[in-house]
Amino acid sequence: MAEVVITGIGLVTPLGRSPAEVLGRIAAGEVASQPSPLGEALACPLVAPVADFDPQQYFPENKALRLMNRDAELAVVAARLAVQHARIAVGRTYPADEIALFGATGLSGIRLDQIARLVEHAAAADGSLDLDRFGRVALRRIRPVLSFKILANMPMCFVSIFEGVCGPNAVYAPWEGQGAQAIAAGIRAIRRGEVPCALVGGCDVKTHELALVSLQQLGVFDSWVRHGRGTIPGEAAAFLVLEDESRAHQRSARICARIRRYAFRSMAAGWLAAERSEAPAGAAAGEGATARRQASSADVPRRHCFCEGLAHGTLGHAHDERGHGTQHGTRALAGMFFSLTISGRPGVIAAGDGDVAVSQAERAALERSGIEPSSIFYPKAHLGNAFAAAAAIQVALAAELASRGETRTVLANCLGFGTEQGSFVVEAV
Amino acid sequence: MTRVVVTGMGIVSPLGIGREAFWSGLTAGQSGIGPITLFDASTFPVRFGGEVKGFAPGPVIERFPAAAGSRDRKLLLALAAAEEAIADAALPHAALREGLLCVGVGLESFCLEDLTAHARAENLGRALARSILARYDSPWFQTPLDRTAAILGDRYGLLAGRYTNCSACAAGTQVVGEAWQMLCEGHAAVALAGAADSMLNPLGLGGFSLLRVLSDENDRPQRACRPFDATRHGTVLGEGAAFLVLETLDHAADRGATVCAEVLGYGSSLDAFAVSDPDPSGRGAVASMRRALRSAGLEPGQIDCVSAHATGTPKNDAVETAAIKEVLGRRAYEVPVHAVKSMTGHMIAASGAVEAAAAVLTLARRTVPPTINLQAPDPACDLDYVPAEARAFHGDIVLSNSFGFGGQNATVILGRSGDLP
């Protein structure tokens, strides 16, 4: 079975566009955040956008950019950076149909401004949906290409078009775990000999209003409600070039790191449904959002979530009072880590993103599985959480850490919302 | 090499609810297309589609209470189809617990009414946020794409991995193919693979009609979807869901399961051409079929039937015909090539799964479904498309194509279970 190595990394994150830059800024304690566009209406007061991003810098005069939403713009740039980093010429280094593309995208990327006019013209005087007006008037107020912009597979299709990649493919959605599945799909395609090379990654934009509303209702910000701190929704894209190690050596590729093993765990515990029956404290029906939220952008410490929960990891199941914390059964995560058979003291790229329950469960699972980390990084606590892109970022930073030689083996955890959790063992070559 | 077989299936389609209703309608050449009744579409440019008629959400929610918080129709269609597939396979829950789940779903839906309620607000986003927070237990504004996988996981376990595939029109075929690959690789012994979609809502139907890919023949909806016909001018949106239970042959044999068919191969490719149109060269479609053949260890001459993607758009059908000819060579003229969508409409993400189920039934029931509405020959589409009437099938292998918006292509190959124990 082929060994799989990382030979290219492309990142577009709030803290930089190379693993070295991102790790450096994390080490310096930077936290990417700015006030949420929803302000006081949301439990989480912050978002982590990518500043100063202009895809025209990378693809000047490219008309296809007009058909893209921001998630696709981030994706095509990150993919281009990864391919360039790997020094791959698609069609020459490998035939285009021998490069696979597996990616993850997030919750629908449709933005409020894209449908505001439709909503305005489809609303009856009493605020109900007026289907007669919708058909006669409102439909004419939206751009026909909107459907293409918001289809979940479009970012990866644009990546294929921009890079000329034609191989096996799939698109997964919408959380961190599915981003990890995309990486694993690339690994599997190489290991079974279907392709020698795969472009894998994800993109996500969780900084606009509709996404934030959905995240709030899904319980992603419950840690903010409970503890006044939690995950900061962000945006990013990240891609990795994976190659069959022997083929990478043949072409004298620069190898960043090897992905030795990976493991997945589907959580058996109820996802959201079981918890939805009980509203969180202070969130009784009719109570305003402001009362529920316990912090504002002004009073949140800049490093509010860094390493939170590390000191009190608990064995057994980590219980958040409600919401997505409960899915992170410590026992299940420990079983996943244990299956990776890690020896020595690895570095850990932790999944902890400020959510108290996630941090507790992750730490407890590491302890339970006998892993004593030599160092722990919490990238999401600095970068924000760009859900579908997070796994590729985690693995990219693990590769950077391993390549520096500070620690030979790095465990990259992709634990988060949803039921799917993944973890990768990345090692220096 | 590990062999993987189909031991159960469930189908919810415009031709009826349940496998038998679907197959009966399909082989009778019935059209499942009709005027939209799910909402008032009387002022929409396109006012018809392939609705699943008589589908009652209530009983599904009763059996899956976790679905109550969602207003997403495709979620309920998926649960109904998955439940039928599991029952059909007579698969014990203990076996499913360690199984794999591969679900294909379409575009996320959100509740327009939640938005129009605040259309006059000074800040629509903040008004929406406040209202949703104030009614914490209200149905979700937006149902996350992995909700189907989560609910099925809650019910059945499926702890070997739950994959939510969003590869648009290729998703339904990709989930079957990926499940096959992972079973072959030993990730599990059992998989539930399927897909669901419904774009028959105001934003879905309205948005697609703006793209000019839909037929607008509102006065004759049942004739509107005409794959391979010279007068074809657009596809018709449908909705539906299908799930297959896949098992390794050893697992199926150990428990004495009835084998419906065998999954022989799978391939996928990308056009890398344009998001709105298929590559006119058909290169991606050709690559997908060839990759599937290679993975199955088959020669083109061994294919006995093709279930075509066949949307009824002028470009797609001609490109697919040319691609089939390039891959199969002379064999292309000897095998039936049929179009399920002529009867169901285009169920987008669900199409591939429904068509894979149709391929299984083609093999098991020894009948090729027809392509309806094919009356005017198109010189660019010159294969045997089984016009109008179903016919007896004596072959052993069916190839099923799905080619998606954005240029994602997928092909799965299924074989008859005749030689299996």
pLDDT tens digits for range A278-327: 333 333 322 222 222 333 333 222 222 222 222 222 222 233 333 333 44
Backbone angles phi, psi at A63, to 5 degrees: -70, -25
Residues on chain B touching A267 (C-beta within 8 angstroms): 153
Q: Which residues pair with B163 in a beta bridge?
A: B102
Q: Which two tokens stand for residue A344?
A: 């020595």
pLDDT at residue B401 greater than cutoff 90: yes
Instruction: Provide the pLDDT for residue B419.
Output: 61
Contact B406 A157 (CB under 8 A): yes
B155 and chain A in contact, CB less than 8 A = no
Quick one: average pLDDT of B214-237?
97
Quick one: average pLDDT of B52-64?
95
pLDDT tens digits for range A159-170: 999 999 999 999
Contact B125 A210 (CB under 8 A): yes
Quick one: average pLDDT of B160-187?
96
pLDDT at residue A17 greater than cutoff 50: yes
Contacts of B187 (CB under 8 A, 6+ apart): B100, B160, B161
Shortest CA gap A215–chain B (Å)? 9
Instruction: Provide the pLDDT for residue A292.
Output: 29
Find the catalytic residue in B111, B225, B260, B309.
B309
pLDDT at residue A58 greater than cutoff 50: yes
Over its C-alpha atoms, chain B yields an Rg (Å, rounded) of: 21
Average pLDDT, chain A: 84
pTM assigned to the model:
0.93
Question: Do residues A396 and A183 touch, judged by C-beta distance below 8 A?
Answer: no
Pairing of strands A409-414, A197-205: unpaired
B346 is catalytic: yes
pLDDT tens digits for range B351-365: 999 999 999 999 999
Q: What beta strand segments (E) does B249-386 contain?
A: 261-270, 305-307, 337-338, 367-368
Quick one: average pLDDT of B292-316?
97
Contact B125 A124 (CB under 8 A): no
**Cα separation of B399 and A274, whole Å?**
42
Q: What DSSP character marks residue B388?
A: S
CATH number of the domain enclosing B344: 3.40.47.10
* Closest of B114, B135, B128 to residue A37, by C-alpha: B128
Which residue in the block uniquely carries the two structure tokens 């009867």?
Answer: B343
Among candidates A123, A147, A165 on the partner chain, residue whose Cβ is nearest the Cβ of B116: A123
| Cis preceding-peptide flag for A174 (omega within 30 of 0) | yes
Least confident of A188-192, A267-271, B40-44: A267-271
Residues on chain B touching A146 (C-beta within 8 angstroms): 207, 210
Contact B107 A151 (CB under 8 A): yes
Pairing of strands B397-403, B408-416: antiparallel
* Residue A2 burial (C-beta neighbours within 10 Å; 0-12, 13-18, 19+): middle
Shortest CA gap B312–chain A (Å)? 19
In a domain, B128, yes or no: no
**Cα separation of A266 and A422, whole Å?**
9
A160: three-class secondary structure by DSSP: helix
The dihedral through the CA atoms of B381, B383, B389, B390 has a sign that is negative
Find the catalytic residue in B169, B225, B260, B381.
B169
Q: Which domain holds residue B149?
A: 4-108+143-416
Instruction: Provide the pLDDT for residue A265.
Output: 84
Contact B41 A172 (CB under 8 A): no
B24 and chain A in contact, CB less than 8 A = no
A72 and chain B in contact, CB less than 8 A = no
* Closest of B87, B83, B62, B57 to residue B72, by C-alpha: B57
Backbone angles phi, psi at B305, to 5 degrees: -165, 145
Shortest CA gap B233–chain A (Å)? 18
The dihedral through the CA atoms of A323, A329, A330, A333 has a sign that is negative
Shortest CA gap B377–chain A (Å)? 32
B309 is catalytic: yes
The single-letter code of the amino acid at B56 is: A
B233 is catalytic: no
What is the chain A residue with the closest CA to B213?
Answer: A144
Question: Do residues B396 and B248 touch, judged by C-beta distance below 8 A?
Answer: no
Instruction: Provide the pLDDT for residue A328.
Output: 53
Q: How confident is the model at residue A406 (pLDDT cuts 50, 70, 90)?
A: confident
pLDDT tens digits for range A220-250: 887 888 788 888 999 999 999 999 999 999 9
Q: How confident is the model at residue B421 (pLDDT cuts 50, 70, 90)?
A: low
**Cα separation of A202 and B272, whole Å?**
18
Instruction: Provide the pLDDT for residue A285.
Output: 28
Query: Of residues A259 and B417, which shows the higher confidence score?
Result: A259
**Cα separation of B336 and B383, whole Å?**
8
Instruction: Provide the pLDDT for residue B136.
Output: 59
Distances (CA, A) of B172 to A166, B46, B176, B356: 19, 25, 7, 8
Find the catalytic residue in B102, B225, B338, B346.
B346
B145 and chain A in contact, CB less than 8 A = yes
SS (H, E, C) A288-319: CHHHHCCCCCCCCCCCCCCCCCHHHCCCCCCC
pLDDT at residue A272 greater than cutoff 60: no
For every residue of A196-214, DSSP letters joined together read SEEEEEEEEE--SHHHHHH
Q: Count Cβ atoms below 10 Å from residue A113 Cβ, excluding itself.
A: 12
Instruction: Provide the pLDDT for residue B321.
Output: 98
A82 and chain B in contact, CB less than 8 A = no
B178 and chain A in contact, CB less than 8 A = yes
Contact A153 B150 (CB under 8 A): no
Q: What DSSP character marks residue B259?
A: P
In a domain, B126, yes or no: no
A193 and chain B in contact, CB less than 8 A = no
Residues on chain A touching B132 (C-beta within 8 angstroms): 213, 216-217
**Quick one: how far is CA A106 from the chain centroid?**
8
Quick one: average pLDDT of B412-419?
88
Contacts of B330 (CB under 8 A, 6+ apart): none
Contact A129 B202 (CB under 8 A): yes
The single-letter code of the amino acid at B40 is: D
B388 and chain A in contact, CB less than 8 A = no
Location of each CATH 3.40.47.10 domain in chain A: 4-114+144-256
B86: three-class secondary structure by DSSP: helix
**Cα separation of A213 and A208, whole Å?**
9
Average pLDDT, chain B: 95
Contact A107 B150 (CB under 8 A): no
Instruction: Provide the pLDDT for residue A310.
Output: 20
Over its C-alpha atoms, chain A yields an Rg (Å, rounded) of: 21
In a domain, B115, yes or no: no
**Structural domain count of chain B:** 1
Instruction: Provide the pLDDT for residue A319.
Output: 35
Burial string for B136-146 (b: 16+ CB within 10 Å, else e) reads bebebbbbbbb
Instruction: Provide the pLDDT for residue A314.
Output: 24
Question: Do residues A185 and A200 touch, judged by C-beta distance below 8 A?
Answer: yes
Quick one: average pLDDT of B181-209?
95
B90 and chain A in contact, CB less than 8 A = no
B294 and chain A in contact, CB less than 8 A = no
Query: Of residues B418 and B395, which shows the higher confidence score?
Result: B395
Instruction: Provide the pLDDT for residue A144.
Output: 85
Pairing of strands B305-307, B337-338: parallel
pLDDT tens digits for range B230-287: 999 999 999 999 999 999 999 999 999 999 999 999 999 999 999 888 899 999 999 9
Backbone angles phi, psi at B383, to 5 degrees: -100, 180
Q: Testing the interface with B: which of A73, A188, A213 to mutate, by most B Cβ within 10 A?
A: A213
**Cα separation of B367 and B395, whole Å?**
10
**Cα separation of A217 and A230, whole Å?**
15
Q: Which two tokens stand for residue B113?
A: 């009414």
As a whole number of Å, the end-to-end CA separation of chain A is 17
A134 and chain B in contact, CB less than 8 A = yes
Residues on chain A touching B267 (C-beta within 8 angstroms): 168
In a domain, B196, yes or no: yes
Q: What angle do CA B199, B200, B204 make, to 5 degrees?
A: 50
- Which class in CATH covers the domain with range A262-427? alpha beta
Long-range contacts of A283-287 (CB under 8 A, 24+ apart): A283/A225, A283/B133, A283/B136, A285/B134, A285/B135, A285/B136, A285/B137, A286/B134, A287/B134
Backbone angles phi, psi at B267, to 5 degrees: -150, 155
Q: Which CATH entry fits the domain spanning A4-114+144-256: 3.30.1360.120, 3.40.47.10, 1.20.1560.10, 3.40.50.300?
A: 3.40.47.10
Instruction: Provide the pLDDT for residue B225.
Output: 98
**Cα separation of B174 and B128, whole Å?**
36
